């Protein structure tokens, strides 16, 4: 299994030495200043969306009126043409009274408090004041003429090294999407913890997991991911699957850092609260969670979500015993087994391994329709959704002979899911070896694509495909960065074979692309991959297993060239 790694690791019981910074070495937020360019008289463009504030510098005292926001309309005015959305636009007026004048902005009640008592919105340090996402400034009135140097945007973000990664291919659309997703990780880091966007500024486990994988794709400083992982362990949110994503976040943290301290610190919480094994049926081990959202849920404060918003669920039929929940449970059991072994809990590791095998058998009995070869959504329904089949395929619940039919079903469905669940659709197609389909979906240009976000005018990944998919969407949501981690882990093919990249797996899957080239940072240094036609060149900082054109090669650290199946 490419992404779950169940049963395919050389486990290590202690922390691994790393060239990367200590994941507990958290950094303070920084502020980067920039000036705009003129689009037309009175309209200024900072080039990309960023969260921060605007200042007038060197402007004569007097009255001003401006409009700042994330989008312009067809005639070039800063506006939000979708009033139900959370696309930001603000008209501001006042008096310039200093040579360096910060334009005051009103606070937003929701993103200062959040929805949940136990999982509140993240409050920025007082020194940063009120911040706001914007790209454009439209001047309505100022005391005198304005030049670029008079307008300064102070953008708040975590100190991410954007120069440590790269990607290029012979598909300009895919390259553009990679760049947009990469910038999104920086732009959405303004809270110093992974949050769901500017509307709520609340960490959610599902959002944060995709954010985490995307951040791993571009930088080898794992401190923001570690802080976000531990924050969520202490401040859980409501969906059933989000609790399951907590285990996934801890597993990824361990695999990328090689550091077991966070696992040990939160072990009992992972085992007793996040795994959800207390909801397992005695007769077969499958989780009985109750149903959709909070309707009939057996989990206090929880409920099954499958996908979000609800219209993106491909007609999923909720049942008390849910295929998607149990697919995640199977994945979690394998991850818990590996993490238990890593911190010396051998008996628990063996128990989780046995339970994972039991759940696999029970899952197949309960959900596999042997007539169609597809997995149904839950007990008591014959409906087979994209979601049930994607998670079954991605998490190792389909036998080898079943993969082709399930993958064909998923390809036919296309992007019948949200930007969040696209993670598992693409992982499923990766697991089935459908590399062409993976690249095709990521580089698509229809209205349910990442390219549509760019066409819409956003420079940061969006919360949904478009306003039709989610009317209250925002333009600063890192769970929309799925292509970033799929390109890093699958197209370039760089993943940890052992925790902390003590050994590295390099298995490029360029699909229909003629050329892919990139740099992926790891805890032990950068991995460089250059694949063109049948030729592959890799540079690895540690021993690696290179898989190319169906052949595995065990190599030492250094530069290696492969041609076809040979060296």
CA dist 282 and 120 (Å) reads: 36
Does a structural domain hold residue 567?
A: no
Query: Helix, strand, coil: what percent of the chain each, to 5?
Result: 35, 20, 45
* Rg (the chain; Cα; Å): 24
Task: Go through the chain and tell me how many residues it has.
Answer: 567
Helix (H) or strand (E) holding 37: strand 37-40
Q: Which two tokens stand for residue 302?
A: 């929880």
How far are the Cα atoms of 85, 108, 359, 463 from residue 194, in angstroms, in the given order? Answer: 21, 19, 32, 14
- The burial class, CB within 10 Å (0-12 / 13-18 / 19+), for 261 is middle
Same domain, yes or no, for 137 and 215? no
Rounded-to-10 torsion of CA 184, 185, 186, 192? 130
Instruction: Please report, for the domain that includes residue 114, its CATH number.
Output: 2.60.120.260
> Are 370 and 265 contained in the same domain?
yes
**Strand 30-34 to 151-157 pairing:** antiparallel
Residues 6+ apart with CB under 8 A from 394: 3, 4, 327, 424, 427, 428, 430, 431
Q: Classify residue 518: in a domain, yes or no.
A: no
Domain end, chosen from 157, 179, 214, is at 157
- The tokens describing 548, both together, are 């190319």
Torsion of CA 554, 560, 565, 566, to 10 degrees: -100
Does residue 173 share a domain with residue 108?
Answer: no
Task: Let me know: does 52 contact 42? Beta carbons within 8 Å.
Answer: no
CA dist 203 and 126 (Å) reads 20
Q: Are strands 132-141 and 43-57 parallel, antiparallel or unpaired?
A: antiparallel
CA distances from 327 to 71, 93, 367 (A): 40, 53, 10
Residue 542 counted as domain residue:
no
Cα–Cα dist 559/32, whole Å: 37
Judge contact between 463 and 480, C-beta under 8 A: yes
64 and 132, same structural domain?
A: yes
Please tell me the distance from the alpha carbon of residue 374 to that of residue 406, in angstroms, as a whole number.
Answer: 6
How many angstroms separate the CA atoms of 366 and 14, rounded? 39
Domains contained in the chain, number: 2
152 and 216 share one domain = no
Q: What three-state secondary structure class fits 161? A: coil
Contact call for residues 235 and 318 (beta carbons, < 8 A): no
Please give the Cα distance from 230 to 504 (Å, whole number).
26
Alpha helices in 39-145 (DSSP H): 109-113
Task: Determine phi and psi for 32, rounding to 5 degrees.
Answer: -115, 130
Which residues constitute the domain of residue 414?
162-504
Which one of 504, 520, 546 terminates a domain?
504
d(CA 502, CA 525): 11
| Residues 367 and 481 occupy one common structural domain | yes
In angstroms, how far is CA 11 from the centroid of its own chain?
Answer: 26
Within-domain flag for 529:
no
Identify whether the C-beta of residue 193 lies closer than 8 Å to the C-beta of residue 203: yes
Same domain, 57 and 200: no
User: Which stretch of DSSP H or E encloses residue 233?
Assistant: helix 223-234
CATH number at residue 405: 1.50.10.10
Are 253 and 110 contained in the same domain? Answer: no
Domain stops at, among 504, 519, 544 = 504
- Amino acid 112: pLDDT: 83
pLDDT of residue 17: 42
Both 118 and 244 in one domain: the answer is no
* Strand duo 100-102 + 43-57: pairing: antiparallel
> Is residue 202 situated within a structural domain?
yes
For 382, the token pair is 């014959």
In a domain, 270, yes or no: yes
232 and 368 together in one domain: yes
Q: Where are the beta strands (DSSP E) in 121-193?
A: 132-141, 151-157, 166-169
User: Is residue 562 included in any domain, yes or no?
Assistant: no
Distance (Å, whole) CA 26 – CA 230: 12
d(CA 314, CA 308): 11
Strand 535-540 versus strand 527-532 pairing type: antiparallel
**What is the rounded end-to-end Cα distance, in angstroms, of the chain?**
26
If asked whether residues 131 and 191 sit together in one domain, one would say no
Does residue 527 form part of some domain?
A: no
Given this model, what pLDDT does residue 375 score? 98
Query: Judging by DSSP bridges, how do beta strands 89-96 and 527-532 pair with one another?
Result: unpaired
pLDDT tens, per residue, the chain with 567 residues? 333 333 333 333 333 345 778 999 999 999 999 999 999 999 999 999 999 999 999 999 999 999 999 999 989 999 999 989 999 999 999 999 999 999 999 998 888 887 777 778 899 999 999 999 999 999 999 999 999 999 999 999 999 999 999 999 999 999 999 999 999 999 999 999 999 999 999 999 999 999 999 999 999 999 999 999 999 999 999 899 999 999 999 999 999 999 999 999 999 999 999 999 999 999 999 999 988 876 667 777 779 999 999 999 999 999 999 999 999 999 999 999 999 999 999 999 999 999 999 999 999 999 999 999 999 999 999 999 999 999 999 999 999 999 999 999 999 999 999 999 999 999 999 999 999 999 999 999 999 999 999 999 999 999 999 999 999 999 999 999 999 999 999 999 999 999 999 999 999 999 999 999 999 999 999 999 999 999 999 999 999 999 999 999 999 999 999 997 667
As a dihedral over the C-alpha atoms of residue 530, residue 531, residue 535, residue 537, rounded to 10 degrees, the angle is: 20
Question: Are residues 191 and 148 part of one domain?
Answer: no
C-alpha–C-alpha distance, residues 416 and 314, integer Å: 6
**Residue 527 CA to its chain's centroid (Å):** 21
Handedness of CA 132, 135, 140, 143 (dihedral sign): positive
Beta-bridged to residue 552, according to DSSP, are 547
């Amino acid at each position: 299994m490419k992404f779950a790694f169940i049963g395919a690791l050389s486990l290590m019981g202690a922390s691994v030495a790393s060239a990367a910074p200590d994941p507990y070495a958290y950094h303070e937020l920084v502020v980067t200043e920039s000036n705009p360019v003129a689009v037309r008289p009175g309209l200024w463009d900072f080039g990309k969306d960023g969260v921060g504030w605007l200042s007038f510098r060197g402007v004569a005292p007097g009255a001003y009126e401006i409009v700042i926001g994330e989008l312009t309309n067809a005639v070039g005015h800063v506006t939000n043409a979708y009033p139900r959305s959370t696309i930001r636009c603000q008209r501001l007026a006042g008096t310039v009274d200093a040579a360096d004048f910060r334009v005051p902005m009103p606070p937003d009640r929701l993103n200062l408090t959040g929805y949940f008592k136990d999982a509140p919105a993240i409050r920025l340090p007082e020194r940063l004041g009120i911040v706001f996402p914007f790209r454009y400034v439209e001047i309505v009135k100022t005391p005198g003429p304005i030049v670029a140097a008079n307008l300064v945007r102070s953008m708040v973000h975590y100190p991410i090294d954007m120069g440590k990664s790269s990607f290029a291919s012979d598909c300009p659309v895919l390259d553009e999407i990679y760049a947009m997703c990469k910038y999104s990780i920086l732009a959405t880091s303004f809270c110093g913890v992974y949050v769901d966007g500017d509307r709520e500024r609340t960490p959610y486990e599902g959002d944060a997991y995709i954010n985490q994988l995307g951040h791993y794709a571009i930088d080898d400083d794992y401190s923001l991911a570690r802080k976000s992982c531990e924050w969520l362990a202490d401040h859980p949110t409501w969906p059933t699957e989000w609790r399951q994503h907590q285990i996934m976040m801890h597993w990824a943290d361990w695999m990328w850092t090689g550091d077991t301290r966070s696992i040990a610190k939160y072990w009992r919480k992972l085992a007793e609260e996040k795994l959800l094994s207390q909801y397992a049926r005695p007769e077969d081990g499958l989780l009985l969670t109750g149903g959709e959202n909070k309707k009939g849920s057996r989990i206090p404060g929880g409920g099954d979500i499958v996908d979000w918003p609800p219209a993106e669920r491909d007609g999923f039929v909720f049942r008390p015993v849910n295929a998607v929940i149990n697919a995640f449970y199977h994945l979690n059991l394998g991850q818990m087994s590996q993490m238990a072994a890593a911190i010396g809990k051998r008996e628990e590791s063996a128990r989780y391994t046995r339970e994972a095998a039991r759940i696999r058998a029970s899952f197949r009995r309960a959900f596999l329709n042997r007539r169609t070869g597809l997995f149904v959504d839950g007990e008591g329904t014959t409906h087979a959704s994209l979601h049930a089949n994607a998670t079954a395929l991605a998490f190792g619940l389909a036998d080898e002979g079943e993969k082709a039919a399930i993958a064909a079903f998923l390809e036919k469905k296309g992007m019948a899911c949200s930007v969040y669940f696209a993670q598992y659709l693409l992982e499923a197609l990766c697991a089935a070896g459908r590399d062409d389909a993976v690249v095709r979906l990521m580089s698509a240009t229809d209205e349910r694509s990442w390219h549509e976000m760019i066409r819409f005018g956003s420079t940061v990944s969006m919360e949904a495909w478009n306003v039709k998919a989610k009317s209250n969407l925002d333009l600063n949501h890192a769970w929309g960065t799925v292509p970033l981690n799929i390109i890093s882990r699958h197209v370039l093919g760089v993943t940890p074979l052992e925790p902390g990249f003590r050994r590295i797996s390099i298995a490029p899957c360029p699909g229909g692309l003629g050329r892919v080239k990139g740099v992926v940072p790891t805890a032990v240094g950068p991995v460089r991959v250059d694949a063109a036609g049948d030729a592959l060149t890799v540079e690895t900082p540690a021993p690696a297993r290179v898989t190319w054109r169906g052949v595995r090669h065990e190599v030492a650290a250094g530069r290696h060239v492969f041609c076809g199946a040979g060296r």
